[in-house]
Amino acid sequence: MSALRILVPVKRVIDYAVKPRVNKAQTAVETAGVKHSMNPFDELSVEESVRIREKKRAPGGVEDICAISAGPAKAQDILRTAMAMGADRAIHVDVKEGDDLEPLTVAKLLKKAAEEEKSNLVILGKQSIDDDSNQTGQMLAGLLGWPQATQASKVEFGEGDSVTVTKEVDGGVETIRAKLPMIITTDLRLNEPRYASLPNIMKAKKKKLDKKTLTDFGLDNEKRLKVLKVTEPAARQGGGKVEDVDGLIGKLKELGAL
Amino acid sequence: MFALLRKSWSRQAVGLIPQTNANHGAVGRNQLLSTLAILEQREGQLNQGSLNAFTAAKQLRGTIHGFLAGSNVSAAAQEAAKVEGIEKIIKVESSTYEKGLPETYAPLLVENIKKGNYTHVIAGHTAFGKNLLPRVAALLDSQQISDVTVIENDKTFVRPIYAGNAIATVESSDSIKVITIRGTAFTTVTPGAGSAVIVDGVDPKADTSAEWVSEDLAKSDRPDLGTASRVVSGGRGLKSREEFDKVMLPLADALGAAVGASRAAVDSGYADNSLQVGQTGKVVAPELYMAVGISGAIQHLAGMKDSKVIAAINKDADAPIFQVADVGLVGDLFEKVPELTEKLQSS
């Protein structure tokens, strides 16, 4: 089996525990001064890559784990986190603050990166918790012409570059098999990401972080979608509480729900 | 410069569709809109929920075709053809497409989309649609719009972002608009007296690079979670799988409801993954959503806050779920739910 060269795209997003607020101009969600961290699904991708190496799960071994992120200078923080978790090196593609890339552009960028880095496995999160698109991995697979296994909850390696992936689907799970090179996107139950230890955070500072721009990949930040406005969702008003079960049934009947 | 060249080249590559060139006026544009709605099937059975793609397509006011592929899809195609207002159902009968593997299904769709000169392609934001459509969009060089809840016009769409904490309105400049829709945001269609013609689609017979191995689906006699009109959902407050089943299942049966669960309940092993309601699970919008022992975290609310009526039973009077519930009952669920179940059964 080929040695694995894993590419792990990670995205810096507003921390999952923060309740996002729409800005006054209704053009976007307020990001200034808001806590950001690595997209939770991307933590799963980094963790899985590192576990494949540590547990020697791939017969051909793991030759390289490269984290990549496109975003403002602060995206380097999450690349350092990925390296502290066990990634060998990182690539930062500098994009101006607030000038977000659309998934199709990210997929085009990752295609070039995967080719340049001679990756044979790309592990992405199933979706980012800011845009909630759930597209990049599938788009990348399409552009590269590689097989894809989305929403993975289990990944196993076999002989002859074969990879068996259990995926979460509506109503249960589905198992598929494909050959390297391939694309996997992670679902929540794949693993539990580790916390980076202090010594590993220190070590990560010495790991290689390449800085690039979109132009280096022959791309520009082309926008196909124009955001016309961003608004708060219609607020729901709590209807108050009732004293007992009879009160609950009575209220539900009154609301026409029973 | 290089980037610019690339851009115009890629634009040209997808500019196969003459009517979408922007120099057409608004008048007459509607006649030129044509939508392909991707329908889902399993072992020859049409997934009724996927017909909601027709509801979305009708809002675009152009011609509408449906698409179905699999081992044995004739009966499902005939059923879909009875939906009123649909012109044509394209079917591709081949075991290659039975499991919906995107490695073969995406090239199949791309061929049929190009042949039909569609301006819009719509599928549900389901496991099938999420897996397949972005691959199709990339092959068409189109930026997909995911989980659309409102279609404002042929190029303007509304979709929730940040787990439903913000609502974005976006305008697409792509010549082929590829969208997935949130099923619960569009009214259900039932086959009626329609008489769409059924034709065989083109089959590019692409080589597959992936194979389907097996599946393990939860069997249930209860309504399907995604489309049920009533849902009862249990959280961490249920304490164990045994208690979950003992408390929640009779309540579900008394209400004729589907069973859901919070991520906390799923992660603790009280309920199957497939029952999870939330940003990372299913999004539901039933007539009645009853949350039992669920605190109401952001990620859970994202999956149910469009329900018509929300009821909550929780022992913590300050739980955030009460801020969105139309009716709340503070109390021990192990007492209140059996009492409720009994009173519902006897009424």
Q: Which residue range forms the structural domain that includes residue A49? A: 4-255
Is the pLDDT confidence value at A23 over 70?
Answer: yes
Average pLDDT, chain B: 91
Residue A17 has what pLDDT? 87
Residue A237 pLDDT level (bands cut at 50, 70, 90): confident
Of B99, B138, B160, the CB nearest to A132: B160
Residue B218 pLDDT level (bands cut at 50, 70, 90): confident
Of A130, A138, A222, the CB nearest to B161: A130
CATH 3.40.190.10, domain B34-200, yes or no: no
Q: What are the E-state strand segments in chain B? A: 34-38, 41-42, 45-46, 63-70, 88-93, 120-124, 145-148, 150-151, 156-161, 166-172, 177-181, 197-200, 210-217, 230-234, 258-261, 288-292, 309-314, 327-330
Task: Kindly determine whether residue B166 and residue A139, on different chains, have CB atoms separated by under 8 Å.
Answer: no
Is the pLDDT confidence value at B31 over 80?
Answer: no
pLDDT tens for residues B119-155?
999 999 999 999 999 999 999 999 999 999 999 999 9
Residue of A nearest to B269 (CA): A189
**So where are chain B's domains?**
34-200, 230-346
Greater model confidence, B56 or B29: B56
Q: What is the rounded average pLDDT of the residues B218-244?
A: 92
Query: What global pTM score does this model have?
Result: 0.90
Asked if B217 and B243 touch (Cβ cutoff 8 Å), the reply is: no
Residue of A nearest to B215 (CA): A174
Residue B226 has what pLDDT? 83
B34-200 against B230-346: fold identical: yes
Asked if B90 and B65 touch (Cβ cutoff 8 Å), the reply is: yes
Q: What is the rounded average pLDDT of the residues B227-240?
A: 95
Task: Kindly determine whether residue B328 and residue A188, on different chains, have CB atoms separated by under 8 Å.
Answer: no
Task: Kindly determine whether residue B127 and residue A169, on different chains, have CB atoms separated by under 8 Å.
Answer: yes
Neighbours of B213 (CB within 10 A): 13
Question: Which of B121, B148, B262, B273 to mutate against chain A (most A CBs within 10 Å)?
Answer: B273
Of A142, A146, A257, the CB nearest to B139: A142
pLDDT tens for residues A196-207?
999 999 999 999
CATH for B230-346 (3.30.750.24, 3.40.50.720, 3.40.50.150, 3.40.50.1220): 3.40.50.1220
Task: Kindly determine whether residue B163 and residue A129, on different chains, have CB atoms separated by under 8 Å.
Answer: yes
**How many A×B Cβ pairs under 8 Å?**
261
- List CB contacts (< 8 A) between B130 and chain A: 134, 138, 150-151
CATH value at residue A210: 3.40.50.620
- Would you call B28 exposed, middle or buried from its count of C-beta atoms within 10 A (0-12, 13-18, 19+)? exposed
Report the binding-site residues of B for FAD. 236, 262-263, 276-280, 293-300, 314
Task: Kindly determine whether residue B327 and residue A248, on different chains, have CB atoms separated by under 8 Å.
Answer: yes
Task: Kindly determine whether residue B169 and residue A229, on different chains, have CB atoms separated by under 8 Å.
Answer: yes
Residue B28 has what pLDDT? 45
Is the pLDDT confidence value at B304 over 70?
Answer: yes
How close does chain B come to A114, measured CA to CA in Å?
Answer: 16
pLDDT tens for residues A104-145?
999 999 999 999 999 999 999 999 999 999 999 999 999 999
Task: Kindly determine whether residue B211 and residue A176, on different chains, have CB atoms separated by under 8 Å.
Answer: yes
Q: What is the rounded average pLDDT of the residues B210-217?
A: 93
Of B4, B171, B328, the CB nearest to A226: B171
